[in-house]
Amino acid sequence: MRKSEALFPRNHGCVHRCLSTAIEIVNAPLSQSRMVMTFLGGHMKQNCMEPGIEFGPSKLTPEDRHKYDLYYRKLKIFREQLPSNLMSKLSSHQLRELAGSLLDGTVFAIVGELEDIQKETERLLLKKRMEVVNRHKGRKVELAKRHGLELDTAESKPNTVPLVMSRQETEKAELEKKLAEEMRSTDKTLVLELDQLVADQQSTMLQCALPLFSVTNSPQEVQLQMHLLRFLQKMNAAATASTTGSQASS
C-alpha cells in the first residue's frame, strides 16, 4: 500500500497499557510528573513504533468508515477556521491521516491525560510561585516591625531619628532589590518548566504518530499544535456528551 493511503502508520493499541500510569500525576510532586510524562513517551516509543497493520478506507468496517468520514469532514471545517497563516500548513493528506489516527479513540485518551498532567503541573508551579510571594511578604513584614521598634527607641534621642530613617530606607531598598531578583529567577525557572512540559507533550504526541506534531520551538508550529489539541478536546467532549445523553435516554 502506498504511503499516501496509510491511515494507521503506527500501532496505537499498546498505548492503552500505559495510560493509567498518568493518573499518578494527581497530588504528585513536579519531579514525579516529569517521570510520568517520560514513562508515557518512553513506553510508546518502545512498544508503538513498530509498523502496525495499515488500513485503507476501503478496508474499514462500516462503523469505522462512518467515523472516518465524520472526522474528516470536521477536520476540513477545522482547517477552514484556522488563521490564514496556519491554514496552508495543514494539507488534505494530513487531514486524512489525522482522521485515521482518531478512529480507535486512543489519541483522545492520550490528549485527555496530557491535559490532566498540564493542569496539575500548572497548579504545582503556581503553588511554588505563591510560596515565594508569601515568603517575600513575610520578610517585608519582619523588616517593617524591626524598623518600627528602632524608631520607637530612637525617639528618646531625637537627633538620631534622621540617621535611623536614612539607614532604614537603604535597608528597605536593598531588600526590595534582592526580592525582585529572586522573583525574576523564580519566574525564569517556572517558564523553563513550562517549556519542558510543552516539549514533553510534543514528544508524546509525536511518538503516538499524530500528524503535525514534532518537538519544536517554532511559534507557528506550536500555535498549530495548540489549535489541534483544542479541537480534539472539543471533539472528545462532544462525543462524550452525546454518548452520555444516549445512555440516559435509553
For residue 238, the model assigns a pLDDT of: 80
Q: How far apart are CA 98 and CA 220, in angstroms?
A: 19
CB contact at 8 A, 44 and 18: yes
Q: What value does the CA radius of gyration of the chain take, rounded to a whole number of Å?
A: 27
The pLDDT value recorded for residue 15 is 29
At residue 2, the pLDDT reads 29
Place of cell 472516518: 68
Number of domains in the chain: 1
C-beta neighbour count of 29 within 10 angstroms = 10
Looking at residue 237, what is its pLDDT?
Answer: 83
- Supply the pLDDT for residue 245: 57
Q: Give the structural domain span for 58.
A: 3-249
* Local confidence pLDDT in tens for the 250 residues of the chain: 222 222 122 233 332 222 233 323 333 344 434 433 433 444 334 333 333 334 455 678 888 899 999 999 999 999 999 999 999 889 999 999 999 999 988 899 998 889 899 989 999 999 999 999 999 999 999 999 999 999 999 999 999 999 999 999 999 999 999 999 999 999 999 999 988 888 999 998 888 888 889 898 888 998 999 999 999 988 888 877 665 555 556 5
Please say whether the dihedral angle defined by the alpha carbons of residues 73, 74, 79 and 81, taken in this order, is positive or negative.
Answer: positive
